[in-house]
Structure formats: structure tokens, C-alpha cells
Amino acid sequence: MRFDNLLDLKRYLKQQDQAKLQKQFVIQESLDGDDVSLCILSRNGMILAATFQRGLIENTREYGPMGAVEFVKDDMFMLTAQKLAACLGWNGWACLDSIWDSHGDLRITDMNARFWNSLLGSMEAGISFPYLACLAALDVEFPVPDYELVRYFHPMTFFREEFLSIYRRSREHNITFRESGLKFLVTDPLTEAIRIYNNHR
């Protein structure tokens, strides 16, 4: 839920049950900028693998994960993430959702200790986080992998953009089969069906 000014927020809160307010709501400032995220696998505070991606196409659901992402690189964000992982002594995977604001500053908004919606995109970029997590759990050493600067479109986003391209309204052009995520939909359709069901129930 988003409010464009403080007056509207105060008006809404006054209409709520005051006894339940502190348990039901978390209020934070809205930051303008580009949505980016850094996904990491870490052991004892040391990052073993990471991919950095920025949003290309927003989800049709408000506050839903990006419908398409582009993998990029940024040494400053990587350094910030390494400092955070070291301070926490982080073990396992995490997704650091962030905003790249108009001043060029990177602001980490939250840190989710779970796999992310563009996990298959990370695999297309060259990093299989589940596989590397298994190696790390077995104490198998491996070099920090590099990744390709590719785009990744979730299958439903791909279909929507292809449809919009008929009317020349697509925001992204020349989407390849590799970028579409269709091979995952074909080889494992049940997973995508469950995801669509959960998003619309």
C-alpha cells in the first residue's frame, strides 16, 4: 500500500483499529530510483558466489518481483554486500533488494534469506546457486564464479511482451529463446503452474 503524502497516510491510520496498529503495519519511506538486487551465497561471512541484476519490466502485481531482469556488474555494491555479509557472519543464500537512486547512491532496502524469483535467470547467467550451495554444505572448495551479462524474462512476461510487440507496444525487443525462460517452463511446467496459482489465489 502506497501513500503519496503524509496527510493521506494519517487519515488512513486513523480509520484503523488503534489497538492493532503496531502489529499490522510497517511504515517506511518510499525511495525513487531503479530496482536492483544482489543475490549471494555466503559461508562464514565470505561471499562464495553472487549475481547483480536490475529490473527491466515490472510485475503486473503491485510490489511483486520483477517480470524481467538484466544482469549487470557493480564493484561498489559488491563491496558493500561483502561488508554486510562479513558483519553478519552470514551463512547460506540471500537476496539484497535495493534502490539505485537518482543521485547514484545504492540503498539496501531489505535482505531476504530465501531463493529469489530470478533464480533461473542466475542459472542462465552462468551460476547455479542450488548446486553451489550443496558444494558449500559439503565443504567442497570452488573458485568464485563469474557470470554473463544477460537478460532474463519470466515465461509469462515473455508471452505478454510478444503479444504487445504485435501492436508495437513491447518495452523490450528481440527476446531470444534463451532469455525467455521457456525451456524451464517446458521441462518443469508444474512449478510454473503452482507459481501462477499462488500469485492469483
Query: According to the model, what pLDDT value does residue 97 have?
Result: 85
Find the mean pLDDT for residues 26-46.
82
Residues 22, 154: Cα–Cα separation, whole Å:
36
Does position 164 have pLDDT exceeding 60, yes or no?
yes
Terminal CA-CA length for the chain: 19
Average pLDDT, the chain: 80
How many CB atoms are located within 10 Å of the residue 52 CB? 24
Per-residue confidence band for 177, with pLDDT thresholds at 50, 70 and 90:
low
Res 59: pLDDT: 58
Query: Do residues 36 and 76 touch, judged by C-beta distance below 8 A?
Result: no
Confidence check: pLDDT of 193 > 70: yes
According to CATH, the superfamily of the domain at 6-200 is ATP-grasp fold, B domain (3.30.470.20)
Put simply, whether the predicted model's pTM sits higher than 0.75 gets the answer no
Residue 102 burial (C-beta neighbours within 10 Å; 0-12, 13-18, 19+)? exposed
**Residue 37: closest CA among 81, 67, 79, 1:** 81
CB 81 within 8 A of CB 96: yes
Taking residues 154-179, report their average pLDDT.
67
pLDDT tens for residues 52-98? 988 776 655 555 566 788 899 888 888 888 999 999 999 998 988 88
Residue 42, burial from CB neighbour count under 10 angstroms (0-12, 13-18, 19+):
buried
Q: Which of 30-34, 89-93, 130-134 has the lowest mean pLDDT?
A: 30-34
Q: C-alpha distances in angstroms, 114 versus 7, 30, 164?
A: 36, 23, 33
pLDDT at 173: 63
- Give the C-alpha separation, 169 to 187, whole Å: 30
Share of the chain above pLDDT 90, in %: 23
The larger pLDDT score, comparing residue 22 to residue 76, is at 76
Query: Which of helix, strand or coil describes residue 33?
Result: strand
